[in-house]
Structure 1
């Protein structure tokens, strides 16, 4: 894509909450992006959900709020179809002044994890399934949207309903067109069981590209919904009594010969698959903060609400947090099912894949696979309290081996501050913070 066709364009990098932080630049800057010309404080990727600096952050008080250097990622520029004036976004990543990766940048943290796979000659491939909800927020509250077909408000969820998809056909047609223009490989779109809830599946591809596309798809959905008189949200629980939004990740690992290291020709998978499952299970409870990063995220963890809450794995069992799907052995993979739709895709993949490679390197052995309904079994549980999740993430020794120390520290400081601020916001008003930020 030629940036010169636009009068201005945007550059941005994802902060810890998956919000893009960056600048609007004139077209004349296009040739300077790879030279280190674009600078931004390192602390800009370590702000809270409201965009406020983190109190007592070492990025400010130990470095004098030093600048980092924004460099273009391999993703390249993408159009922004939701804007009325044509423009483009160039996804960036943060380096230090010395040219080292800034590991407080979520994308750099994922690269750090993927490099551990590359050191073995392995590449990770991933696919995401994301749920989102279309809402009407015009009356200072959120409620189901008005159907463009009938002119009446939606009053019930319709699982796999083609009728509901067709009722919003202008929106979904534009969504598919926008995704194609941005190079986002949308595989399928379905109606889910919640009010105005839908699920998109993106194609299996390189893990970094999968994270990029998940983040970009969120921007696209939210932007286009506004053009159609609605809001779109990935909040984990938009309505207290309705289904929550989740995000599932499927991943497999391929060696230098192109072979799936999880495939042994049978349904059970290789010892490497077992070790990866063991690592994911070992990190799961302490990773709750990544899977549920916001205060309202914990409303989704209700028994029987299709959100796995226990640390377990199984073959072909959707009540388990870790599922090994059936199908052809060559496609053997792990599905990680715990995260809410409100996550940062880079952090989710970094945590999941960091746990998997740690399990492989330590040659861990997983607990036996479960059978039956996971909700009926006595199993270790994810954290159910935001404060507990914050402190466990910051102190757990296994997490410290999975993720960069700088990322862990910054995440903990950010979430501690958010928790204090959120406590002073009336519960009925909290949706305004998260509706279009997550």
Structure 2
């Protein structure tokens, strides 16, 4: 039960924000489409909001990508009901004054019932459970997102902001002012990145967020979206993180890198094959084993299915490799130059239409299960399997990951791991939303599907 005495005392924080000319605080929450929904409250209301939250409809968990509301999930089958969106305030850095939006600050939030009790559809709670499970097994989770984006000079996305070549200084120079603004604003908002560069796709850029603990990594990913959009707007540009921003384009991934530490050391690093420990082999094998259900959470949308094509470094086939960028699971090993702490596993089939908290939660769970089972991965594949014929693929036990909604839905519902991580209620809502999106797509062309998703992310 929430009352006036419950919740953090944020009066000192309010004074600090007021001194920085903040007038409004935006509470951000990510739905089952990966869309960031939000409420903004006046700064003076923050002490009350920190205790009691602000109202939100229970239907937020069954919004589809087109702002339709599906009532196909029995648990949320009517428009009746109210929730409280409560800011996650756990220290002086919890609320970030936004460098690109003067007067506003940002804070992640979570949904609670009207009585303040846990809400079974809350993504942050799902991730927190898996972080606790990892801790019980003796591990801390580290994660980081590589964020690809399409940058355009007009609202229809037709005018590319840079002309390439891929990875070149010429391409980045076309957006120099935006790139500078982005570096300044990211740093001001407390976001650390490893690099910024022009990517392979037309008008595509990428930033690599520095690794953090699991919850902080997801919070950083969400804040990075807000920061990037604001910096682009300041320079007359528009940014799309959508899995496919143009029909002919390569698409945008939000590649998810994860590792485990134990006693301050990288637990994946060892003296076994490919520099992996027993833990590292089990972790990798667990991810590989759970891929069909996993990618239904990490790359779940109609746009994800369009993006996931062989030859596009989008993780179309279910295999792993060492530094193989066509593999859906890419092992990034340690080296003498990088150090023993560098080992991590990159999931390619991950994009902005995924809820980052849910995506990371199922990845952690899959890895932990593989460790617990002592699972062993097969030998890595260092080729582009998209060039193989069907006989060779079959002999290697390699198959395409889902290419249709029906396949992906079946894999989601068949995965006991995904069901256990999300819970029956959330899985039901998640699948209902995917079904609603797929039903919408049936009546629209690929061009219309891409256009409908372009500016959602």
> Is the aligned partner of 1:137 residue 2:148?
no
TM-score (norm 1): 0.89
Q: Which runs of 5+ in 1 are unaligned?
A: 147-153
TM-score (norm 2): 0.86
* CA RMSD of superposed structures (Å): 2.4
Distance 1:231 1:62 in 2: 36
Deviations 1:9-50 (A, max 9, x none): 222321112323332212211222331243323332331123
Counterpart of 1:20 in structure 2 is: 36
CA shift for structure 1 position 136: 3.3
CA shift for structure 1 position 372: 2.8
Counterpart of 1:358 in structure 2 is: 369
> Is the aligned partner of 1:72 residue 2:88?
yes
Distance 1:220 1:354 in 2: 30
Distance 2:331 2:454 in 1: 33
| Kept after mapping to 1: 8 A contact 2:332/2:342 | no
Alpha-carbon spacing, 1:329–1:37, altered in 2? closer, same or farther (3 Å): closer
> Is the aligned partner of 1:35 residue 2:46?
no
> Is the aligned partner of 1:118 residue 2:141?
no
Alpha-carbon spacing, 1:81–1:434, altered in 2? closer, same or farther (3 Å): farther
CA shift for structure 1 position 64: 4.2
Counterpart of 1:370 in structure 2 is: 381
CA shift for structure 1 position 240: 2.8
| Kept after mapping to 1: 8 A contact 2:50/2:89 | no
CA shift for structure 1 position 201: 0.7
> Is the aligned partner of 1:405 residue 2:411?
no
Aligned with 1:240 (options 244, 247, 269):
247
> Is the aligned partner of 1:287 residue 2:294?
yes
Corresponding residue SS for 2:293: coil
May I ask how many residue pairs the two structures share in their alignment? 426
> Is the aligned partner of 1:345 residue 2:359?
no
Distance 2:53 2:317 in 1: 47
Distance 1:414 1:216 in 2: 24
Aligned with 1:264 (options 238, 261, 270):
270
> Is the aligned partner of 1:89 residue 2:106?
yes
Distance 1:37 1:168 in 2: 40
Distance 2:40 2:341 in 1: 45
| Kept after mapping to 2: 8 A contact 1:42/1:68 | no
| Kept after mapping to 2: 8 A contact 1:215/1:344 | no
Alpha-carbon spacing, 1:242–1:13, altered in 2? closer, same or farther (3 Å): closer
Range with bigger deviation, 194-203 or 102-111: 102-111
Distance 2:54 2:281 in 1: 44
Alpha-carbon spacing, 1:45–1:71, altered in 2? closer, same or farther (3 Å): farther
Distance 1:53 1:117 in 2: 35
Deviations 1:268-306 (A, max 9, x none): 311111111121112111223223322122222222122
Deviations 1:294-320 (A, max 9, x none): 212222222212222111122232222
CA shift for structure 1 position 325: 1.6
Counterpart of 1:381 in structure 2 is: 400
Corresponding residue SS for 1:133: strand
* Runs of 4+ with deviation above 4 angstroms: 97-100
| Kept after mapping to 1: 8 A contact 2:143/2:213 | yes
| Kept after mapping to 2: 8 A contact 1:265/1:330 | no
CA shift for structure 1 position 365: 2.7
Counterpart of 2:3 in structure 1 is: none
> Is the aligned partner of 1:334 residue 2:353?
no
CA shift for structure 1 position 437: 1.2
Corresponding residue SS for 1:352: helix
Deviations 1:54-77 (A, max 9, x none): 224444448942424524254711
CA shift for structure 1 position 369: 2.3
| Kept after mapping to 2: 8 A contact 1:355/1:402 | no
Aligned with 2:318 (options 303, 311, 332):
311
Alignment of 1:103-114 (within 5 A): 103-114=120-131
Corresponding residue SS for 1:219: helix
Counterpart of 2:7 in structure 1 is: none
Range with bigger deviation, 286-295 or 423-432: 423-432
Distance 2:97 2:295 in 1: 34
Distance 1:407 1:45 in 2: 8
